[in-house]
Every structure is written in structure tokens, then in C-alpha cells.
Amino acid sequence: MKISRILTSKWMIFLPIFGIIPWGGMLIGMISAWAIQGHPLYWFMDSYQYPVYISDVGATSLQPLFIVGVAVNVAVFLMTLALIMYLRDRYDKWFEKDGERHNRNLAIAAISFAVLGELGILFVSIFNTNIFHKTHIAMLGIFLLGLLVSLILQCTQYWRMGDVIGHGFNHYKISFVLKLVFTVVALALAIAFYKVSDYSKSAAIEWSLAFFYNLIFFIFAYDLYVLNTSIQRERNSGPHQGDLTENEKSAHSTMAANNDEETIV
């Protein structure tokens, strides 16, 4: 099927990278604009700080850039998770190895919390801190919580699949370690961002966390690379059932049955 061929194309491993471009471009554009303006104290801010929060810049005339950058990033993030689950469900024999659908349930739960978190960051960009301050803060909390739970569920899923293969260090456990390290560092930065009372230091931590967030897309790209490599290897050894139409599957089964009959005769 054409759609299946597109989704399993080697070029799909670059899908997560497209999430980095708008997010990183948005951050660079916003911090550069603030610097070009002469590091101003915006009219809705109470005290001087250096640097300002991302949300402070996003509450100015640069809000359209904030919204577009976040929206594209959100779309790529969720499409990437959906693609990974689709490919694992269709092609990965270890996805259901435990026979109790736990891995699929973990993947669905991870995507559900990711949707919640990503909607949170989208609303952060829409409800600016100047006019909708309380809503803005609440949506930021939802983003951080949703993303944290999603990452924990993903870590659990990858550890389970890696543990099924064996106690060695396989690609599932590599992905688990990468996600775990990312989650721990991101959580530490998020706690520091919340706990530090100095606005300048807190804002600096927020910018650091925002740029650090890009690393999760490289981890997703690694997951897709491993998946795609496995799919291409199996495809080269013969047609995969997931790539066949119903008629092709029926014909394939009939040919196999005929071959068995000829062997018996």
C-alpha cells in the first residue's frame, strides 16, 4: 500500500527533526528580538530582570511567532509519537511479546498525556501572561505535568520491551536510558525554574529548559531510525504482511497452501 510505503520510508526518520526547526527558530528569534530592542523591561513587568521570561517576549508583538512556533512543534511532536506507535504495532514483534497488550496500553496512555501536555503549551502561547496571567501559568503547569507523565510511561514501555528480549543492552534499553536521562534533567530544570526566587535566574533556567527540550526530538529520531532499519531489513527478505492488501494477503496464503500441498504430494 502506498500509505504504508510512505510511513515506512527512510525519510520519515527526519520527521522529529522538523519539530526542532520551528521551536529553535522561535526561541532564537524571540531572544534576538529582545536583545535588538536593547533588553527592555516590558510595560507589564514589575521589576527589572535579565533575561526576561519567554512568556514576557511572547506577550508582545511577537506573540504570532510564539503561537506559530509552538503550534508546528506540537503537531510534529504528536505526529511523531503516533507514527512510532503505528510502526511498532504493525511491524515490531516485541511490541506485543508479553501477550497482555501492556505495551500498547502504555503507548496509548503516553500519547494521551502527551496530547494533554502539548495542548497545555499551545494554550500557553495563546493566553499571554499579560492579559491572562493565571490561565497562562495553569496551562504551563499542565504542559510540564503532561509531558512528565508521558515520558515516564514511555520509559516504562521501552524498559519492558527491552527486558523481554533479554538482560543485555539492546536498542530498547538504549532508548530507555536516553529518555530517562532526558526526563531527570528536564525535571531538575523544571523544579529549579519553579523554586528559584530570583526572576533573572529563573528566566535563565526557563530558556535553558526550552532549548534542552529539543533533545527529545533527537531521541525520537533514534527510535524511528532503529524501527526503519528493522523494517527495511525484513522487507528486503520478503513482503511483510503489513505492506500487503487483503487480496495480496489472500493470494500469498493460497500460494503458500499450494506449495505445502505440492510438497506433501
Domain that holds residue 132: 2-264
What pLDDT does 92 receive?
66
**HSE on the CB side for 212, CA within 13 Å?**
17
pLDDT one-digit tens code per residue, 87-104: 887 776 655 555 557 788
SS3 labels along 68-119:
HHHHHHHHHHHHHHHHHHHHHHHHCCCCCCCCCCHHHHHHHHHHHHHHHHHH
Tell me the residue type at 244.
L
Give the total number of structural domains in the chain: 1
Can you read off the three cell numbers belonging to residue 140?
Answer: 504551563
Could you tell me what percent of the chain has a pLDDT over 90?
A: 59
Is residue 253 pLDDT above 90, yes or no?
A: no
Would you call 70 exposed, middle or buried from its count of C-beta atoms within 10 A (0-12, 13-18, 19+)? Answer: buried
Model confidence at 221, pLDDT cuts 50, 70, 90, reads very high
Q: What is the pLDDT of residues 10-60, one digit of tens each?
A: 778 899 999 899 999 999 999 999 999 999 888 888 778 899 999 999 999
pLDDT digit string, tens, across residues 188-208: 999 999 999 899 999 999 999
